[in-house]
Structure 1
Amino acid sequence: MNKTVLKTKELLDLFLESERLTLPEMVARLQMPKTSVYRMAQSLVALGFLQKQGDDYELGLSLLTFGTLVAERLDLRRVALPVMERLKEETKEAVNLVIRDGDEALYIEKVETSEPVRVYTKVGRRAPLYAGACPRILLAFMNEADRERYVEQVELVKMAKCTVTDKQVLRRLLEEGRNRGYTVSYSELENYSAAVAVPIFNHEGAAVAGLSVAGPEQRFSPDDIARIVPRLKQAAMAISRELGFRGQG
């Protein structure tokens, strides 16, 4: 590998922990000759990767441009679809991908089951965050202040026979979901339907989507849930890794 490129990367890496550095500070940390560090720093300033404020250097706007492009080009649906297709083959049930859009969950991708008896959910469907496993996993992994604000303000409307309409019950389900890393629902959005869902995390560790396996209630017994959850978590983690997540989930 090119030594100059490697040394330049080492210099930029210094700013992962420090917002600003002077030339003497960079020289001390890199253990390189002052003239070499100065030339690298000035070249990076000219390219926009560093900027100088008085005696201090800091990261430049060119890095923001590249970072934004990476984020924009990391299409969640494109990354998730092959994983969803494998999960459908493993579970034999429909797989849904859901994101938060304001106070609603938006279904943005689906892989349909090949079973003749199925739950019909189409891409573009919206659901309140409190109802159904996949919307509720998004609510469960919101930050605490936003989550409680939502619960306080929302009107819990009954949409199916088991829709949660008690806020204390909802709070308990949200806490359980965060603790065990998945949520389960039965007949909350549609009668006789069931789903189990887990979060998908981005490079910042934020839950940016929910991944669920859904189908008729009779195919989601406790034994079925125990079989599905490990596969579902593994699939969600695979997608999260593609989005830059480096935590443990």
Structure 2
Amino acid sequence: MTKKYQAPIVKKAFLILDAISKNTQGLKISEISSSLNISKSTVHGITAALEDQGAVIRDALSKRYTIGITLMELGKAAYERLDFKHIARPIMEELMEQCQESVFLGIRNGDRVTVIDIVESRKDFKITSPIGTSLPLLAGAIGKLFLSRMEAKALQKYLNANPLIKFTAHTIIDPIKYISELEKVRKNGFATDDEEYISGVRAVVAPVKGYGAYIPAIWVVGFKASMSQKKIPSIIEQTLAAAKKISEKLSDIKG
């Protein structure tokens, strides 16, 4: 059995943040120390580090610590992400009923794409994946969509550092052809995947606009047999409409 790595200092930092966040008047080092049974020197060192990062603020007169702006921003970002899923879910369910294929919701996370929600197809044979699954940025339609949003110089630099991967016999691995494909995606506002990431599987993806620091997307994935070339145009139309609905609902909330 693999032994979990223990980081006591991190645990203590979270305990301190939790204690401070629950006290509206703020807490002094001595109060934090006694309530958590952590030595004053340790509390002092941790709070000093947290203050440097903007996670807590120390009042010069009262010597009390309260939650800082950095922590508030992190909390806001986490809340928005959850709220985003809540807004998108019924639209994803509607899209699944329309196309009868699994519908995914995800965001770009550096060099990966993270699945944050999924509505599975009702079919016995379907494409599925656990929430939290991380996909390569160069993977199929979703990769095309996110990379198409990059400026030419940044894109070229990224592709130079991250050579195209041959996932299947249909994967585009010629950089010139791939960049040309990205130009089409940029122009059309959606991306498709015809067995380029997984053999026998097709996908259609569209971007969700206006969501702060996150870059979200919604995509439909199914087997080639059910996502026939005849059905693709209507699935594209339905996916774009769903992405637009989510964008509009987000805009209404922020507006």
Query: Could you tell me the TM-score, scaled by structure 1's length?
Result: 0.65
8 Å Cα contact 1:138-1:207 kept in structure 2: no
* Selected match of 1:239 from 226, 229, 246: 246
Alignment map for 1:177-188 (pairs within 5 Å): 177-188=185-196
Cα deviation, residue 225, structure 1? 1.1
What amino acid sits opposite 1:217 in the alignment? K
C-alpha distance in 2 between matches for 1:139 and 1:112:
26
| Letter in structure 1 aligned against 2:251 | G
Task: Name the SS for the 2:132 alignment partner.
Answer: coil
Counterpart in 1 of 2:35?
A: none
Alignment-mate amino acid for residue 73 of structure 1: Y
**Percentage identity across aligned positions?**
27
**Letter of the structure 2 residue corresponding to residue 200 of structure 1:** V
Taking the TM superposition and a 5 Å limit, the aligned residue runs for 1:9-88 are: 73-74=79-80, 75=82, 76-88=84-96
Q: CA deviation at 1:110?
A: 0.8
* 1:178, distance to aligned residue in structure 2 (A): 0.8
Deviation (angstroms), 1:219:
2.0
Q: Deviations over 1:157-216 (max 9, x none)?
A: 222232222111210111111111111112222211110111111156x87111111100
* Contact 1:88–1:94 (CA under 8 A) maintained in structure 2: yes
Range moving further from structure 2, 149-158 or 89-98:
149-158
TM-fit CA distance, 1:130:
2.2
Which stretches in structure 1 are left out of the alignment for 5+ residues? 1-64
Partner of 1:139: 147
After TM superposition, the score normalised by the length of structure 2 is: 0.64
User: Quick check: 2:171–2:197 contact (8 Å CA) kept in 1?
Assistant: yes
Question: Contact 2:120 / 2:127 at 8 angstroms: preserved in 1?
Answer: no
Aligned residues: 183
Q: Note if 1:174 corresponds to 2:182.
A: yes
Structure 2 residue 114 is the aligned partner of structure 1 residue 113: no
Structure 1 counterpart of 2:100: 92
Question: What runs of 5+ residues in structure 2 fail to find an aligned partner?
Answer: 1-70
- Residues 130 and 164 in structure 1, CA contact (< 8 A), matched pair in contact too: no
Identify the residue that residue 123 of structure 1 maps to in structure 2.
Answer: 131
Could you say if the C-alpha distance between residues 201 and 90 of structure 1 is closer, same or farther in structure 2, counting changes exceeding 3 Å?
same
Q: Is the 8 A contact 2:138 2:165 kept in 1?
A: no
> How far is 1:151 from its partner?
1.9
Kindly provide the amino acid, as one letter, of the partner of residue 221 in structure 1. Answer: S
| CA apart distance, 1:118 | 1.5
Q: 1:159 to 1:91 in 2, by over 3 A?
A: same
Partner residue in 2 for 1:214: 221
Tell me, in whole angstroms, the C-alpha distance in 1 between the residues paired with 2:173 and 2:252.
Answer: 34
Counterpart of 2:231 in structure 1: which amino acid?
D
Over the aligned positions, Cα root-mean-square deviation in angstroms equals 2.7
